[in-house]
Amino acid sequence: MSVLLGPKLPRLTIPKALDLPTYIYKPPAAKIPSYKPIVIPPSDLQPPAGVKAAKTTEQPEAPKLKIPVLDFDVPVPETAVVVTAVTTAVVAVATTTVTQSLFEPIKKKVQKFLQKKIDKWKEKRKKKKVSSES
């Protein structure tokens, strides 16, 4: 007895699917801005009966210098402001004086050097003009 088998076809072997971990999606949470409401008292607010009003402390008036000819008052600045301004002015003047005495000779030498270079350049230029004309 002969058994007829059909044509031998190649078999396709498919690998098993990869085991991927599952991702649990968490929706984003936002912090909603909030504020505490400001309570503004009415303009006609009065203290309750029997409560003494607090004493208000006023700043003393700044000292003023009176200029007699012009009848004009000039406010006198505080001591700290005057000391700072004087210190800054003294440092600026000292720095300028010292640096001027240091850089003046250097400036003169650099000017002489540059002037010599410019004069040489002018001479070369004149020689090129004369040679190109003839």
Question: Does the pLDDT at position 3 exceed 80?
Answer: no
Q: Can you give the residue ranges of every domain in the chain?
A: 65-133
Q: What is the pLDDT of residue 6?
A: 75
Q: How far is CA 44 from the centre of its chain?
A: 46
- Residue 62: helix, strand or coil by DSSP? coil
Name the phi and psi angles at 125, rounded to 5: -65, -40
Q: pLDDT digits over 69-94, tens only?
A: 888 888 888 889 999 999 999 999 99
pLDDT at residue 1 is higher than 60: no
- Residue 93, pLDDT score: 95
